[in-house]
Amino acid sequence: MKLLLVGGGGREHALAHKLSQSAALERLYVAPGNGGTANLPKCENVALEAEQFEALIAFARQHALDLTVVGPETPLVDGIVDAFQAAGLRIFGPSRRAAQLEGSKLFAKQCMLRWGVPTGRAESFTDFDEAMRHLRMLDRVPVIKASGLAAGRGTLLPNTMEAAAVAVRELLLEHRFGGAGATLLVEQRLRGPEVSVLAFCDGQRCLLMPAAQEYKRLNDGDRGPNTAGLGALAPSPLLTPEQLAEIQRRIFAPVLAGLAAEGTPYQGVLCAGLMLTEQGPAVLAFNCCFGDPEAQAILPLLESDLLEVLLACTAGTLETVTPRWRAAAAVSVVMASEGYPETCRTGIEIFGVAAAEQTGCTVYQAGTRQKGGRLLVAGGRVLTVTATARSVEQAARRAYAGVEKIRFAGACYRTDIGRAQPARASRTPERAARGNRSEPRPPSGLASKPFPRRPTRPRRPAQETP
């Protein structure tokens, strides 16, 4: 089979690496790809960007491609799947409407409340004065979220009400995230460790992958500003198989059933960012594709043919495949450029990637480019170094041994990925007594009814290098 993979980051390098192992694969084109995808067997980069839908469709027709796989969220939210399907081409990913689970946090919140999926209470605003009046009525500091896509950095976690007011001003008046922050959510702050649970979906059914933990804060100890992700591990030791089954029943099943009932079946990968509260798991946000960097930790654990699973999703026959997962752990450490997440230095040469891979690590390239035989920094998140082992602790040691082999000026990374584990959220006596119920029930204190719609009217954070 001949495939097209859309995207050029670390997630797409991980997808290309796994797809290239398929015996059924004849050729994999990656648009635009990166230095890592260019060196994979059976792979070829093409000079097309993810937003060039018409050019991508023409390329797929010209090369008689059997399947297109979409990596990033932005083209999915913008409707690339609808465009390919209208052209009669097979593509893996959710439709534009279904992808609004990530494209609009307001849409996702309304859906979860409508379908009884546990999540935090929230109010939405487009007007600064109304948002400020609401803030003054709260007795606890909330989370401020840009409703639209903000490159993984649209969730702000102020520590004081004054900081929350500044965040509201930055989004609604100073347009910190552009149009993505034109609508914001003032959301109840939940407490507990976070996990990411991803699932393959075929419109009716889903198959969960090993749960992952993502490290989003810039600095060790989960300090500093949010980023798009500086590391991950899988499988998460915070969830038991019984809890994963409960998450499938209470979160994924209602979402898939709700979208299907409303004429928008979800095909592709759905990622749920969850907070493990004392009352049970609650949804923080959805992603409409493989998480990045979660994909770099999860995909190395997949023993089955990834292509076979993706084809089953697009055909609506997920019940015919049973993915096999390695009995191992994976840890991924992201190496970022100086100034990330606000700025980044580019054009700096990278050394030691081959030496890191000789230690047994896999180095996924993201913000890189090749020039004259040299590998150069081309973005904020530059590389993801992944190692697998029998335990998280062993995998972390191997990953950091690989990181130590790589060098480029200004490189920064967290030093605690896989080394500092949050405590498992406890279960209240009431929850323990009712066990793993199959019907959706919001945790106590979380939203259980739609919030009212409000009427509308037409500094760089301090950083420490780990």
pLDDT digits (tens, 9 = 90+) for 108-135: 999 999 999 999 999 999 999 999 999 9
One-letter amino acid at 280 equals G
- E strands present in 203-307: 206-208, 213-214, 217-219, 223-226, 231-234, 267-277, 280-287
pTM of this structure = 0.88
Q: Which pLDDT band, with edges at 50, 70 and 90, does 226 fall under?
A: confident
Q: Residues of CATH 3.30.1490.20 domain(s) within the chain?
A: 121-187
- Average the pLDDT over 356-370 and give the result: 95
Residues 6+ apart with CB under 8 A from 181: 146, 147, 148, 150, 154, 170, 171, 172, 175
**Nearest alpha carbon to residue 330 among 18, 6, 5:** 18
Q: Which pLDDT band, with edges at 50, 70 and 90, does 173 fall under?
A: very high
Provide the token pair at 283. 């949804």
Main-chain phi, psi angles of 335, to 5 degrees: -105, 120
Provide the token pair at 427. 């279960």
Q: Residues of CATH 3.90.600.10 domain(s) within the chain?
A: 328-422
Provide the token pair at 439. 């019907």
Q: 196: helix, coil or strand?
A: strand
Please report, rounded to a whole number, the percentage of residues in the chain having pLDDT higher than 70: 90
Q: 60: helix, coil or strand?
A: helix
CATH homologous superfamily of 328-422? Phosphoribosylglycinamide synthetase, C-terminal domain (3.90.600.10)
Alpha helix positions (H), 138-185:
161-172
Q: Which pLDDT band, with edges at 50, 70 and 90, does 330 fall under?
A: very high
Helices 10-19, 306-315: inter-axial angle, 10-degree rounding: 100
Alpha helix positions (H), 268-381:
294-298, 306-315, 353-358
**Nearest alpha carbon to residue 14 among 273, 198, 207, 194:** 198
Residues 6+ apart with CB under 8 A from 47: 31, 32
**pLDDT for 402:** 98
For 329, the enclosing helix (H) or strand (E) is strand 329-336
Fold topology of 121-187: Dna Ligase; domain 1 (3.30.1490)
Over the range 347-356, which residues count as b (16 or more CB within 10 Å of their CB) and which as e? ebebebbeeb
- Average the pLDDT over 66-71 and give the result: 98
The DSSP code for 51 is T
- Average the pLDDT over 22-30 and give the result: 98
- Average the pLDDT over 62-71 and give the result: 98
- Average the pLDDT over 334-347 and give the result: 93
Whether 31 contacts 46, CB under 8 Å: yes
Question: Rounded distance, CA 118 to CA 442, Å?
Answer: 4
Bridging pattern class, strands 267-277 and 194-202: antiparallel
Whether 414 contacts 219, CB under 8 Å: yes
Residues 6+ apart with CB under 8 A from 283: 112, 117, 118, 119, 251, 272, 273, 274
Q: Is 253 exposed, middle or buried (0-12, 13-18, 19+ CB in 10 A)?
A: middle
Question: Is the per-residue pLDDT at 96 higher than 50?
Answer: yes
Whether 5 contacts 31, CB under 8 Å: yes
- Average the pLDDT over 218-237 and give the result: 93
Residues 6+ apart with CB under 8 A from 130: 454, 455
Main-chain phi, psi angles of 270, to 5 degrees: -115, 125
- Average the pLDDT over 27-54 and give the result: 96
How many residues are given for the chain?
Answer: 466
Q: Which pLDDT band, with edges at 50, 70 and 90, does 429 fall under?
A: very low
Angle 289-292-294 (CA atoms, 0-180°, nearest 5)? 95
Strand ranges of the sheet holding 194-202, from the earlier edge strand across to the other edge: 206-208, 194-202, 267-277, 280-287
3.40.50.20, 3.40.50.150, 3.40.50.1220, 2.40.70.10: which CATH number matches 2-92? 3.40.50.20
Question: Rounded distance, CA 360 to CA 351, Å?
Answer: 17
Cα of first residue to Cα of last residue in the chain, in angstroms, is 44
**pLDDT for 463:** 39
**Which residues are 234's β-sheet partners?**
330
One-letter amino acid at 57 equals I
Q: Residues of CATH 3.40.50.20 domain(s) within the chain?
A: 2-92
CATH C-level class of 190-326: alpha beta
**pLDDT for 426:** 40
Question: Is the per-residue pLDDT at 440 higher than 80?
Answer: no
Angle 38-40-45 (CA atoms, 0-180°, nearest 5)? 30
